[in-house]
A and B are shown apart, each in its own frame.
Chain A
Amino acid sequence: MTPQNRRKSSASGPQGTTPIQIHRALKGDASSIADLVVRTKRLNNEFDPLFAVVEDAKSRAEKYIVSTIGSPDKLLLVAADGSKIVGVLRAEMRERIFYDPHVEGLVTDFYILPEYRRKALGNQMIKQASAKLKEMGAQIIVADVPSQNEIATRFYVKRGFRSLNQFFGKSP
């Protein structure tokens, strides 16, 4: 039933015909990346009130991003449509003290602007991130998402991930 006059594309974004580039984030990207990170947090708030977003989230996000860029045990990938940042994936290396495999690459933030979704961009980003995290020493790739986020759940399950942990919370 999808109307035919809806624009569909897989190779390029709405801004033009050049393919979307995925690359490591640059310092100058920090502000636009921070916007996207704040969007992920706001989205999380839709799933649970314990994810209420603080007022100065944007400036915190910028610091968070700046400290990520250039850190040897962290990864920050962006998807860019020309000069516009349309997607971001942040991950960090973590040690698993008691388990084997004992090094994990943890995806902490992953967001793609709505109109760039369903173009296999998420798939490309998670693939590239996995490869880079493997190079950095990760033996498994894990991702942190709200339990109620069924869209994220479907995304990972479809790509062979399975739920490893449940993270419970309540107000004391």
Chain B
Amino acid sequence: MANLRKPKPAEDSSKKALVYSKFYAGKVEVAPKVPVRSLDDFAIWYTPGVAAVSKAIEADPDLSFDYTGRWNTVAVVTDGSRVLGLGKIGPEGALPVMEGKALIYNYLGGVNAIPLPVRVGSEEELISFVKALEPSLGGVNLEDIESPKCFEVLDRLRAEMKIPVWHDDQQGTAGVTLAALYNALEVTGRKLKGSRIVLFGAGSANIATERLLVEAGVDSRDIVVLDTKGILYPEREDVDKLMLKNKWKYEIAIHTNGDRITGGLEEALEGADVLVAAAGQGPDAITRDQVSRMNKRAITFFLANPVPEMLPGAAHKAGAEVVATGRSDYPNQVNNSLLFPAIFRGALDVRARTITDQMVIDAAKELAAFAKERGLSKNYIIPTMVQWEVYPRVAAAVSQAAVREGQARRRLSRKESFRMAMEMIEHSRKVMSSLRRSGIIRDPPE
């Protein structure tokens, strides 16, 4: 889905990625953050001194958030079952992607992220592996896990772990979509409640988006969701099968589509206000005729990468007013990287126990507010990644939501959480520039 991974232009960045990856042999590394003035210091950082710290933590395990780097450490875990658009390429194949994700966490969020693809034989094994990591971590980022497995894994881990577990392909995409939608509605003079919303594609992104929209106040009856077989509705022939195979899609089939529309995209878009496509198979997965059936001043998001389901030019010609894609070379890039570094920055700063949907909604609102302060237009509904000041803002919104929701181990005021997030993110940027300046991180080969 929408994220940083889109090559631009594709061939050029593919070539560079191969050369650079070999040159640097790894994008992130564990680096010290304490001074080693002499070897004597190891008596403090390691045995015998460290035993005192261990005993203190043994007496109160939550002290591990204060005495170690746990509080700022996130594992980027995948089983390699659905990596990018490449499918099941295995954990080793997923490693460069997870390294890239870890790098973004570090640079944009000041988060110490560890790439961790794992070889597991079953869903249950993946769940128990991640659970076993809990003592070392402040949070978990799940990545590139196939649907519907990803739903069960996320739901179970969220319920069974006392640290935030995040699946970016679900919550990240849903959150950033909601942010863009808030402003698209504003630009076209609509309200979230009462808008008729069509979700094209029923994979991890749109299933999560549906849930978040409902959490944000949309009446589920105003949402119509389509999968590869067409519009979902309670009486559809295969609904019982969904109950057994994909209970998340089953729920959607039962609760959405109050008007009982049946058929395909034509029927769904008739009189719709918003289209969120996360279905792939662009650039002609959606036709001009289909979009032209939508209400005036329509909002259309085409989130597939690298090729959107429909190109913005065609959508505008078909009457869409606001068009967003996952790509940086068109206006309105709906990009997960706008959200996940800030979500974790905010969650980690207050030692959050989980990331609730409300925390994601507040993050989306803050992201939207940031763009609004700079002046909305149909070509600017969401901040761009270069506006990095947005990250501490969103992080503070997340921290505050965690405190409000009773999910924070440490209570910070909005001011404190903003300052902390700012410091953490600035720290990462400073480390990068100082490592580059000193030549420790070299410039890439020609």
Contacts and interface: CB of A to CB of B under 8 A. Distances in A.
A7 B258 CA distance: 10
A39 B254 CA distance: 16
Interface string B232-261: 001101011101110000110111000000
A126 interface: no
Given A114-B250, A114-B254, A115-B254, A5 B218 contact: yes
B240 A3 contact: no
Give the size category of B's interface with A: 20 to 34
A48 interface: no
B219 A114 contact: no
Contact of B241 (A6, A43, A151): A43
B214 A39 contact: no
A42 B254 contact: no
B211 A114 contact: no
Contacts, number: 49
Of B219, B240, B251, most buried by chain A (CB within 10 Å of CB) is B240
A5 B220 contact: yes
B155 interface: yes
A6 B220 contact: yes
B357 A46 contact: no
Contacts of A39: 240
Contacts of B219: 5
Contacts of A46: 240-241, 244-245
B221 interface: yes
A97 interface: no
A9 B113 CA distance: 44
Interface in B173-228: 211, 214-215, 217-221
B154 to A, nearest CB: 10
Interface of A: 1, 3-7, 14, 39, 42-43, 46, 113-115, 151
20 contacts: A1-B158, A3-B214, A3-B215, A3-B357, A4-B215, A5-B215, A5-B217, A5-B218, A5-B219, A6-B214, A6-B251, A6-B255, A7-B221, A7-B255, A42-B241, A43-B240, A46-B240, A113-B235, A114-B253, A151-B243
Per CB-CB distance, the 5 closest pairs between chain A and chain B, nearest first, are A3-B214, A115-B234, A43-B240, A115-B254, A5-B214
